[in-house]
Amino acid sequence: MDHKKIFQTHLMDIHDEVLSEGDEEDVIKNEEKVEKHLNKSTKTREIKRNHRSINRQVSLETGFSVLNRERKGRDDQRKVLTRSGTSLGGFGLEGHKSDFSIFKTKSTLSKQNSLLPRKLEKELESQKINDVDDDSVNASVPAGRYFAALRGPELDEVKDYEDILLPTDEKWPFLLRFPIGCYGICLGLGSQAVLWRTMATSPATSFLHIRPAVSFAIWLLALAVLIAVSITYILKCIFYFEAVRREYFHPVRINFFFAPWIVCMFLAISVPSQLAPHTTLQPAIWCTFIVPYFLLELKIYGQWLSGGKRRLSKVANPSNHLSVTGNFVGAILASKVGWNEPAKFFWAVGFAHYLVVFVTLYQRLPTSEALPKELHPVYTMFIAAPSAASLAWESIYGEFDGLCRTCYFIALFLYIALVVRIKFFTGFGFSVAWWAYTFPMTTMSVATIKYAEQVPSIISKCLALGLAFMSSTMVSFLLVSTLLHAFVWHTLFPNDLAIAITKRKKGREKKPLKKAYDIKRWTKKALTKNSENKDTSKNNG
């Protein structure tokens, strides 16, 4: 009733033409009472509904919808780019295509941003804050993430349910598509230069009458390819250093960072007599190539030794033999320059770590990541280390003695074991990774020639000739295929998806289901506990 009177007086006062001062004060008081009453009634209705309101503010400049704080936490979880790599994470809108700035070097990126207008620079900063959080390119990707997200001979193919940071529907810049694995080509050609120089100078193959000009031509070709690959990859380091960091953290590709120095040592060992008439090389050559190799070796072997996320049992793969084989190649070059003690040191380091890698890969420890089947072609790396160890021992001590032959026979057995399982090496598309076949095969061929020198017989000479022919044929085939894919079909360097994976998998990973025997064991424990509780309750009663 009181409220009706209040409303009546309120309506009557509005229609008054002139109000006195006392009447005005009464009207104001009545209006305040009405407002308080209405506010109370609306609050009680909102509490009954229990409905959370969402405040939307639309920006006229950008058109983005900014939700209130209740939705802020959920929006932060949706910052991963879609598989196409063209969406702005969390908002589901199309971004700028061909935007590869996230992999550019920080210095070059800052210079480009300084030349932009201020408004565009603000937009880039806001986009950078929204898009890059947990999946930052600058942060290192865990080693297990590469095994979980990638597949293929060199872990270079993204699995179907994974997302990447770059678009897949367009071709990336050439430097981004140029992998560190291209040094495998240099390894193949450099080892061939060593092989043909050995065949031209060895008494075991003197019946072939190979001219030194052949090895000289192969040496020049290997040197030219090494220079071209090195210049290209240096440009990648300058302009796309973040992509190089991704390759460095890759559990397979990190081993190819040893390849440039191994190739240089190969070329120094097989340098033609036309360029170096003296039999003894300068020690400075060995120091120039072995110092960066040794520093990188300390870093990698330290991770294996100290444990952690990149311990050997977690990242072990056949490509690790490449980091071990360089010790033996360095020992050979050290003996060539006349430094036998450093040669013995590197031989001991290489042999110790070869045993560790060999046992780790053979045992398949439960803590190690399961290697996919497509990685089997790189198993030819098993041959490289023991054959190079035998060559290094022969170069240091000057004879193919018992230990040298032991390493050689280990390599020979592994070679035969892989040849028998030829099905592992079929059914794969051509890629630069195929050059991994040639380097171990060529090293084995050179070791067989040295063995034929110490044990001259028809069998040893035929074995040396057969292995040399197989390795040279493989190199010739891969060289022709590489030229066709590069200059005719233009398919040699596809988009390098391996460097564009996210740091974490999008969405929450499902917990694995318990196995049947685990469930049975759990039910048995529950039943025994219930029976024990019942017995205790009866005794207490």
Domains, the chain, in order of start with CATH, read: 174-364+378-499 (1.50.10.150)
Calpha distance 178→417 (Å, rounded):
33
**β-sheet bridge partners, residue 151:** 157
Burial of 317 per CB tally in 10 Å (0-12, 13-18, 19+): buried
CA proximity to 279, closest of 338, 215, 203, 202: 338
- 309-to-288, 306, 313, 319, 359 alpha-carbon distances in Å: 32, 10, 10, 18, 20
CB atoms within 10 A of CB 79: 19
Gyration radius from the chain CA atoms = 35
Cα–Cα distance, 42 to 283 (Å, whole number)? 91
- Could you tell me where the beta strands, DSSP code E, fall in 130-264? 150-151, 157-158
By C-alpha distance, which of 292, 187, 174, 167 is closest to 236? Answer: 174
Nearest to 386 by CA among 345, 355, 343: 355
**421 vs 189: CA distance, rounded Å:** 26
pLDDT at 277: 76
Mapping DSSP to helix (H, G, I), strand (E, B) and coil, where does residue 117 land?
coil
**pTM recorded for the entire structure:** 0.73
User: For tokens 């201020």, what's the residue?
Assistant: 118
Angle at 101 between CA 99 and CA 104, to 5 degrees: 145
Q: 54 and 67 in contact (C-beta within 8 Å)?
A: yes
Which DSSP category does 140 fall into?
P
**What is the maximum alpha-carbon separation in the chain?**
132
DSSP symbols for 45-65: HHHHHT------EE-TTT--E
Q: pLDDT tens, position by position, for the chain (541 residues)?
A: 444 444 444 444 444 444 444 554 554 556 565 555 555 555 455 444 444 443 434 343 334 343 444 444 444 444 444 444 544 333 333 334 456 888 888 754 454 444 444 444 444 454 444 444 444 455 678 887 888 888 766 777 888 888 888 888 889 999 999 999 999 999 999 999 999 999 999 999 999 999 999 999 999 999 999 999 999 999 999 999 999 999 999 998 999 999 999 999 999 999 998 888 777 788 999 999 999 999 999 999 999 988 777 888 888 888 899 999 999 999 999 999 999 999 999 999 999 999 999 999 888 765 555 454 544 667 788 999 999 999 999 999 998 999 999 999 999 999 998 888 777 666 667 788 788 778 999 999 999 999 999 999 999 999 999 999 999 999 999 999 999 999 999 999 999 999 989 887 765 444 444 444 455 555 555 556 566 666 556 555 5
SS3 158: strand
Axis-axis angle for helices 438-454, 183-201 (nearest 10)? 20
Nearest in space to 491 (alpha carbons), one of 428, 435, 429, 426: 429
pLDDT of residue 95: 36
Is-contact 433 492, C-beta < 8 A?
no
